[in-house]
């Protein structure tokens, strides 16, 4: 296990630590993990939006499902846009 210096206070910490135990500053590994989590979260939101839009298209092909399809499309679209605009 290698030790690195904290960027904020210089404390020796494990390279695997996500934040400095002394000052709480995120390490490079911690920043990377946070970024990965944000991207995954955003991907999930967009996935749900895409799924709803796809579902609405399939439902729209049936005459009975058309009103529900329109609603699903709008909801899916809003979720997709929200996933793009809201910073996670």
Contact footprint for Zn ion (CB under 5 A): 6, 8-9, 11, 20, 22-23, 25
The distance of closest approach from Cβ of residue 17 to Zn ion in the complex, given in angstroms and rounded to an integer, is 10
Where in the chain does DSSP place strands (E)? 3-5, 12-14
Query: Based on CB atoms, which residue is closest to Zn ion, 25 or 51?
Result: 25
Measured between alpha carbons, how far is residue 76 from residues 11, 49, 62, 67, 84 in Å?
47, 4, 18, 14, 12
The distance of closest approach from Cβ of residue 25 to Zn ion in the complex, given in angstroms and rounded to an integer, is 5
The distance of closest approach from Cβ of residue 37 to Zn ion in the complex, given in angstroms and rounded to an integer, is 21
Query: Based on CB atoms, which residue is closest to Zn ion, 12 or 41?
Result: 12
Angle (CA) 65 45 43, round 5°: 125
Query: Based on CB atoms, which residue is closest to Zn ion, 25 or 48?
Result: 25
């Amino acid at each position: 296990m290698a030790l690195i210096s904290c960027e904020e206070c210089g404390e020796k910490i494990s390279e695997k630590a996500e934040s400095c135990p002394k000052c709480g500053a995120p390490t490079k590994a911690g920043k990377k993990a946070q970024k990965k989590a944000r991207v995954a979260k955003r991907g999930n939101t967009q996935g749900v939006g895409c799924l709803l839009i796809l579902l609405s298209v399939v439902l729209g092909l049936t005459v009975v499902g058309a009103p529900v399809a329109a609603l699903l499309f709008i909801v899916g679209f809003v979720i997709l846009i929200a996933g793009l605009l809201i910073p996670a």
